Structure 1
Amino acid sequence: METDDNFSSIFANYVVLLEREQVLSMIREDDETEHFSVSINCADLYDHNMNLVEALLVDPYRILSIMDLALLTAQQNILQEFTVSQRQYMSVKANCHVRIMGLMNCPELVRYHLPSSADVGKFLSITGTIIRSSVLKVLEYEREFICSKCKKVFDVQADFNQFYTLSKPSKCVTEGCKSTLFTATNFADGQPRKCRNYQEIKMQEQIHMLPVGSIPRSMWVVLEDDIVDSCKPGDDVIITGTVEQRWKSLGLQDRCDIELVVRANSIQVINEQSSKRLVTDELLKEIKEFWEEHSSRPLTGRNKILMSVCPQVYGLYAVKLAVTLAMIGGLQRVDDSGTQVRGEIHLLLVGDPGTGKSQFLKYAAKVIPRSVFTTGIGSTSAGLTVTAMRDSGEWQLEAGALVLADGGVCCIDEFSCIKEQDKTSIHEAMEQQTISVAKAGMVCKLNTRCAILAATNPKGKYDTSQDITVNIALASPLLSRFDIVLVLLDNQNDTWDRIVSDYILLGKHPLDGGLPKDLWTLQKIQAYISHVKSLKPKLSLQASSVLQAYYKAQRNADTRNAARTTMRLLQSLIRLAQAHARLMYREVILVEDAINAIIIVESSMQGAALLGSINALHTAFPKDAEEEYATQMDIILQTLKLDKLREEELAKLAQAKSKGGPALSQATEELTKIKDPSEKKLSTYCIANDIDDDAISQKKTQHSQQVQSHRLKHGSEMYHQGPTAKAQRVNETDLGAKGSSSIKSSHDLTLSFKPKEMFSSTQYDKNDEKDLNGKTQTELNKSAKLSKVSQVIGLSNLSEITDQDFELD
C-alpha cells in the first residue's frame, strides 16, 4: 500500500513533468501573500498513477492536503533549475492549492442531480445553475490558544460541520496537565492570526435536465481562497468537491437540523460549453452533405428544417421561420466607443386563444440548453430580474428568470398579465442586455443576454382597424424593443379548418397525404442551432442597400406605425438578415437573406406593409420555395425602386436555372417583365393558384383587350399620372361608392398589392378522385378560379381589383 510520502513524490513528479507551465506562471507572480492554484485533470492523473486517484476518491481531505504540500516541493524543484540571477524575480508561493477537474464520466462520480445523504464524504462532480450568491467574507479558520498553567501553545481548527465555529478546548493537550483555562493569542492590534476568503453560493438543478413536473432542488456550496467570486447568479457551473453535513450548535432538547453542503475544490463555468457538446464530427458531416444536396435549391432545404420545428403544429410557416430566427439570433457588435448593440432577437406572438402560441414557446425552451419558461400571471419585476433576499441577518441577491436565461432564451407566456409597473423593469434587460441593481445597499450589474419570446392574447376581439398598441395594451417603448410582432387571427376559413382537423385526427398532411418522413429530430435541431451560432456572416453591399431602402420606405409611409418604425427597425432588419444567413449556413449575408428579413418584418407593419396584410396563422409551406421567393423578390425590389439590383437578381436566378438549379416557370419569368400593377396582380394570382401557362396566356390576352378597351373609354392619362392623381381619380369614380375608408394612401394604392395568401403558394386541394364527368377536384377548382379571373378582368376599373375579388364563392 502506498504511503503518504510515496503519494507526495508521485504527485510532485507529475506536476514537474506535465504541469510545468502552470507552476512557472505561478512562481513568477509578484505577490507572495495571494492564493494560487494549479488545475489538474483527473483523467490524466489517473493514467499517470491509478492508485493516487483511487485514494483521492476514498479519502479526499487527506490526499488533497498531501497534494498541496507536494505542489510546494514541485515549485522548489523547478526553481532550482534556474540560475541565481534568474531566481531574482521568482519565488515559491506558500499559499498554493491543487484544483481537481474532469472526473471520469461515470454515474458514481458525475452527477446532474444534487446528492443525497448517502453521498456524504464522497468526492463528486455536480452540474447545476447558480441562483444566489452571498457577499465575500473573511473567515478565521485557525486560532492559537495558550494554557494558563503549563503555557503550552497549540492550534484549534474551526469546525466546518458547525458553520466554522471556533470553540475553546475542553482541556489541555499536555500530558499530566488538566487545566481548563486558556487564552487566545492574537497580534498586538488584536486582529485574528489566520484568515482566508470565504463565500457561499446556492446551486440549483438544471431545469431542462429534470422530468416534467419535478421541482428543482437547491444546495449551498462553500467556496474558499482563490475560487471565491468565480461565478455569479445565472451561471451554469460544474463544481467538484466533497459532500458534507453541517448543523448549528445544539442546546438541550433542541432538534438537530442537518443540511447537506458541498465543500468545493474547483468550480468551472460552462455557459458556452453546454451547447458545444452537442456538435459532433458526424453531425458536421451530415450538415455539409445536406447543404451540398440542396445547393441548387437552398430555400427548399431551409423549409425542410422549418418543417421539423414544432412538428405537432400544422402550417404556420411564418411563425416557424420567425421562432427559428429568434432561437439562432444575430451578431452582437461593439462600437469604437464601447457601446454594445445586442444580437438577440425578441419575438412577440399576438393571437386569439388556441392558435398555438404556447406550443412554440415550450418548443423553444426545449431546444435551447439555457432557457427559462415562465408566465406573466403572478410574475413581478423581482421575479423577472433580481430579488434581494435576507438570510441569516445578511442580504443576498437571487437571480430571476431573465438572469437565469443569460445566453439562452426566456419564454414568457401571458405577457399582457404582467403588471404595468413591472413591464417597465425589463426595458433595460431587453435593449442593453443588463440589469442594474441597487437594493439593500448592494449596487451591481448583471447580464441578461437572452432572447425574449413572449406570447399574449389581444385585449378582447382583435380590431384590425386599430393600432396594435391599442389591441394588446403595450406601450410603444416596450413594443419597439420586439424585433418581430406576429399577429395570429383565428378568422373563419373552412378549407383551413378541414385541413387542420385532418392533420390532427388522421395524421394526414395535405402535401403528400401523410406526415413528412424525413423530419429532423429535436436533438439534431438543437445541435444545428448550436453550430450555426458560431458563424459570423458579413453584410454585403447589395443586402445593405435593400435593407436601407426598405427602412426609408417605411419611415416615409403615410400609414406607418410610429411604435414600430423607429431606428430599432433598421437594427432588427440587420439582426434578422444575420440570423437567416446563419440558418442558410452562409458566411455572407445575401440579398436573399435581406428579402426574407423584410418578409418577416412585413407581418408587423399592418397598414404600411408593402406585401399587404398577412395573417401568419394561415401561412402554409409553399410547394416551390424558390419560385415564391422570385415572386416576392420581384415585388419588393420593384416597389423599393431598386431596378438595377432587381435585374441582377433575375440574372442570377436565370443562371441558376441554366445550371439545373431552381427553375423559374415561364409564368414567373413573364411576371418579372410586367410593369402594369393590375396586370401583375392578375398574373401573380394565377401563379399562386397553380393555373397552367396556357390558361394564363389565354386570360392575359383577354386582360390586354380589357386594358385597351378601358384606356379608350377613360383615356390613358390615368396610367401616366402620379400616384396622387390616380388616387383622386379612383376616389372620384368607381371607389367612391365604397367609401373613402377603402383607400389607405397613395403609397399603398400604387405599390401595395398582394394576391390572396401570397405568403404561401401551398394548395389546399387534396381530393384527386374523379367525379361523374371524369374531372378531378383539382381541375374543377382551377376551372372555378379561371371563371373568377374572367369576372375580375371584366371589372370596369382595373384599379378596383382587390384580394376579395379573388376569393371563390
Structure 2
Amino acid sequence: MDLTNETEFDAATTVGAMQLFLETCYDNDIERLLDVDTELSSLAVDMHTLVEFNLGLAQAVLEQPTRYQTLFDAALHSALRKRVQPPTRAINSSSKVRLGHLPAHPSLQRTKMPGSSDVGRLISITGTVIRTGLVKMMETHKQYACTKCRGTFTVNAELEQYNHIPKPSKCVAPGEDCCNSTTFMPVDATTGVDLQEARLSCTDYQEIKIQEQVGKLALGTIPRSIVVILEGDLVDVAKSGDVATVTGTLVWRWRPANQGERPDIALAMRAAGIDTNGSGSSGSGGSLVSVTDEVRQGFGEFWRQHAARPMDGRDILVSSMCPQVYGLFYVKLAVLLVLIGGVARADVSGLRVRGEAHILLVGDPGTAKSQFLKYAAKLVPRSVLTTGIGSTSAGLTVTAVRDGGEWALEAGALVLADRGICCIDEFGSIRDAEKGTVLEAMEQQSISVAKAGIVCKLNARCSVVAAMNPRGAYDRESSLTVNTALSSPLLSRFDLILVLLDSPSEAWDDRVSSFLLQGGNIETSGAWPFDRLQAYIAHVKGTLNPVSTPGSEQVLTRYYQIQRQRDSLNAARTTIRLLESLIRLSQAHARLMFRDKVLVEDAVMAVVLMETTMLSASILGSTTDALHTTMPADSQASYKELETLVLNRLELQHLINN
C-alpha cells in the first residue's frame, strides 16, 4: 500500500469515527440542521463530550486542529446526507462543526495572550472585544483554466497572506499529461461556472480584536490584544464590550513582501467557535467572582445573627467599604448601594428601565473622592477606571478608526464597562462638546453609532461613579449647575450627587489625625475582608430581585409629591427620574439587607440619602454634611430616630415600627 492510499484510509477511518460520535451525541442537533425553517448552519461540539466518547480522537483534534476540522466538517456532511429525504435533496454544504468548551487546562484555556510557540495549536482565549470590523465577503477559492490544455484547477485563498489568492505559476490541472503552461484565465460566471458554485466560493468574513481582561492582570501590566478572524455564521456574534471566549487556532499572517520594506508578521487567531457571555441576563452580569455554597451559607448565618438588630449588620458592611478612609458614612453607604444597584425591568412597550444607579461626588481636594473610585473599581471585577482629562468622546463611548484602509468600531470606557461600573475621575474636565455623548449611555444604557457609514447600537449597561472638583470655591447660595458647570440634563441622570465640603472643624480634624496616626484601625474592627465583601456584592446582585411593599410605596410616593410641590428650588431634579432613583436606591438597600422585599426602612434610607445630596433638604430640616459623618455608635437606635423624623415629616406616622 502506497503512502497516498494509506493516508486516504486513515482519513476515511477518522471521518467514520467522527460521524459515529456526531450521530451518537448530537442526533437531535443534526436533525435541526435539516429543518428548512431554521437558520442554523453549524453544529456546536463540546470538547468535554468528545473526550468522554473517544479520548484518542480528542487528543488528535487538539494536536492538529486544522486538519481535523476539515475531517469533522466532512463527517457532518456525511451524517446530513444519510438523513436527507428525498435523497436527491441538496444539503447545506457550508455547514460547519464549531468546537468549544476545551478541557480546563492552563495550556488550553488562556486569559493571557498566546505567543509564537502556540502557532498551530487549538486553544481558548477569554477577553474583552474592543474592536469590531465590517462584515465582508471573502473568496475562499478561485478556479483557473489553462489556455493551452483547457484544464481547470482550483487555487485556495491563503489565510496567512490576508486571504490573498495567489496566481498559479504553472498549470496543475489534473491529468496524465502536464502541460506546464504559464498562461491562465480565471473561471467565473461568464465563462461557464454556475451561480451556485460561485456562491459557494465565498463566505462571510469579519475581524475583531479582543483584549486581555484588566481585572485578571497584575498591577501595572499593559493589556495585550490579538486579532480574531471570524468566518461564516460566526460573524456579528460578538459586539464591542462583550466578554468573549474564543476557541480557535493560532496562525501567522504577513503582507506580501516588497523590496526595501521590512516584512510585517503578526499573530492572529482563526476562530473555530465563539461564546459571548457579556450579553447574558440581568443576573450577575458575567461576574468573575465565584461564590461557593459555604460562602452563601455564611452570608445567611451572618444575617440570622443580626435578625434582632439588622442595622448593626448593615453598618458592618458599610464600615468594610473603603476602610482606609475615616468617616464619610453616608458616602460609603451611597457608593455601596450604587455598586449593588436596583432591579432592571421592562415596561409594557418592551422598553428597558435601567436598574443601574449613578453617583457623582463633588468636593474639595483631599476629600477621598479618588479613593472611593479606585476601591469601587477593585470591588467590581468588570470595571473601567478613567479620567475626564484624558478621555475624548471616543475614550468614553465609541469611535470609528481606520484599520488597513477600512473602518472599524473601537469601544470606549462606557462600552467596555457593560454589565459593570465605569469610574470617571475629573468628570468636570470633559470638554463641553463631549459631555453630550454620555447622556444616552447613562439613561438608555446604550450608545447609538452613526460614523463612517457604520450605523449600530452598542450596550452600555453600566453604573457610572464619577468625581470632580467644584468650579472654584463652592457657593452654597448658587445652584449645583453653577458650581459644577455641568448642564441640568447631565446632572439629572445621576441618582445621587454628594457634595463634600472641607470646612474647618477642630474636633473633626483631631479625629482624622488620630485615625491616620494609629494606622487606620479605629472603625475597622469587625469589618469584612475585601474578598468577602466582593463575593457578597456579586451574590446579592445575581440572586435577589426585591419587590416593593405597600408601605415602601407610600413613603416614596409621598416624598416625591412633596418634592414636586417645591420644584422651584431645582426643577431639573424633581422629574420622574427622582422617583426612579428612589426606587433603585430602595431596591439596592433591600439587597444590601439580604432581603427580597423592599420594606419601609429601605424606603426611609433612600429618602435620607436623597436628602444628603444637599439638593432637596426639606424632610430632615437642614442639609446633612456628607463629609463630616461617622459610623453611628448605636446603629439601630440611630435609624429609629431617622425613621421617626422622616415619617413624621411625610405625615405617615402609622408606618412607624411597621
TM-score by length of 2: 0.92
Q: Counterpart amino acid of 1:349?
A: L
Distance 1:176 1:88, change over 3 A: closer
* Offset from partner CA, 1:60-85 (integer Å, 9 cap, x none): 111111111111233345x28xxx7x
* Offset from partner CA, 1:473-506 (integer Å, 9 cap, x none): 2221111111001111112222222222222222
**1:576 positional shift:** 0.5
Does 1:531 pair with 2:559?
Answer: no
Deviates more, 1:605-614 or 1:402-411: 605-614
**1:638 positional shift:** 0.5
* Offset from partner CA, 1:197-255 (integer Å, 9 cap, x none): 11111111112222222222222110001111101111110011111111111123331
CA distance in 2, matches of 1:35, 1:563: 50
Distance 1:600 1:69, change over 3 A: same
Equivalent in 179, 182, 188 of residue 181 of structure 2: 179
Does 1:553 pair with 2:562?
Answer: yes
Q: Counterpart amino acid of 1:130?
A: V
State the partner residue of 2:502. Answer: 490
Query: Is 1:276–1:531's contact at 8 Å kept on the other side of the alignment?
Result: no
CA distance in 1, matches of 2:302, 2:345: 30
Does 1:568 pair with 2:577?
Answer: yes
Q: Could you say which structure has the higher helix fraction?
A: 1
Query: Is 2:43–2:97's contact at 8 Å kept on the other side of the alignment?
Result: yes
Q: Give the match's secondary structure for 1:155.
A: strand
* Offset from partner CA, 1:692-713 (integer Å, 9 cap, x none): xxxxxxxxxxxxxxxxxxxxxx
State the partner residue of 2:245. Answer: 238
Q: Counterpart amino acid of 2:294?
A: E
Does 1:627 pair with 2:637?
Answer: yes
**1:142 positional shift:** 0.7
Does 1:74 pair with 2:79?
Answer: yes
State the partner residue of 1:19. Answer: 26
State the partner residue of 1:41. Answer: 46
Query: Is 2:289–2:538's contact at 8 Å kept on the other side of the alignment?
Result: no
Query: Is 2:81–2:87's contact at 8 Å kept on the other side of the alignment?
Result: no
* Alignment of structure 1 residues 606-645 onto 2, 5 Å: 606=615, 608-611=617-620, 612-645=622-655
* Offset from partner CA, 1:154-211 (integer Å, 9 cap, x none): 1110011111111221112255422111221111389745111111111111122222
Query: Is 2:288–2:381's contact at 8 Å kept on the other side of the alignment?
Result: no
Distance 1:88 1:482, change over 3 A: farther
Unaligned stretches of 5+ residues in structure 1: 653-809
* Offset from partner CA, 1:517-539 (integer Å, 9 cap, x none): x4333332222222212321111
Give me the identity figure in percent.
47
CA distance in 1, matches of 2:81, 2:449: 46
State the partner residue of 2:4. Answer: none
Give the aligned CA root-mean-square deviation in angstroms.
Answer: 2.2
Count of residues in correspondence between the two structures:
636
* Alignment of structure 1 residues 370-381 onto 2, 5 Å: 370-381=382-393
State the partner residue of 2:594. Answer: 585
**1:566 positional shift:** 2.1
Equivalent in 59, 73, 82 of residue 54 of structure 1: 59
Query: Is 1:537–1:578's contact at 8 Å kept on the other side of the alignment?
Result: yes
Query: Is 1:540–1:590's contact at 8 Å kept on the other side of the alignment?
Result: yes
Query: Is 2:610–2:616's contact at 8 Å kept on the other side of the alignment?
Result: no
Q: Counterpart amino acid of 1:532?
A: V
* Alignment of structure 1 residues 399-418 onto 2, 5 Å: 399-418=411-430
Does 1:65 pair with 2:65?
Answer: no
* Offset from partner CA, 1:726-753 (integer Å, 9 cap, x none): xxxxxxxxxxxxxxxxxxxxxxxxxxxx
State the partner residue of 1:298. Answer: 310
CA distance in 2, matches of 1:470, 1:124: 55
Does 1:143 pair with 2:153?
Answer: no
Query: Is 1:222–1:263's contact at 8 Å kept on the other side of the alignment?
Result: yes
**1:276 positional shift:** 6.3
CA distance in 2, matches of 1:6, 1:93: 23
State the partner residue of 2:16. Answer: 9
CA distance in 1, matches of 2:592, 2:263: 57
**1:426 positional shift:** 1.1
Distance 1:463 1:547, change over 3 A: same
Q: Give the match's secondary structure for 1:618.
A: coil
Does 1:266 pair with 2:245?
Answer: no
State the partner residue of 1:198. Answer: 205
CA distance in 1, matches of 2:81, 2:301: 55
Query: Is 1:564–1:605's contact at 8 Å kept on the other side of the alignment?
Result: no
**1:4 positional shift:** 2.8
Structure with the larger RCO, 1 or 2 (CA within 8 Å, 6+ apart): 2
Distance 1:441 1:305, change over 3 A: same
State the partner residue of 1:739. Answer: none
Q: Give the match's secondary structure for 2:140.
A: strand
State the partner residue of 1:544. Answer: 553
* Alignment of structure 1 residues 188-587 onto 2, 5 Å: 188=190, 192=198, 194-271=201-278, 272=280, 274-275=286-287, 278-507=290-519, 509-510=521-522, 515-516=524-525, 518-534=526-542, 535-557=544-566, 560-587=569-596
* Offset from partner CA, 1:370-417 (integer Å, 9 cap, x none): 211110113222221111111222221111111111111111100111
Q: Give the match's secondary structure for 2:436.
A: helix
Query: Is 2:45–2:99's contact at 8 Å kept on the other side of the alignment?
Result: yes
Query: Is 1:603–1:609's contact at 8 Å kept on the other side of the alignment?
Result: no
CA distance in 2, matches of 1:6, 1:288: 56
TM-score by length of 1: 0.76
CA distance in 1, matches of 2:137, 2:497: 51
State the partner residue of 1:157. Answer: 156
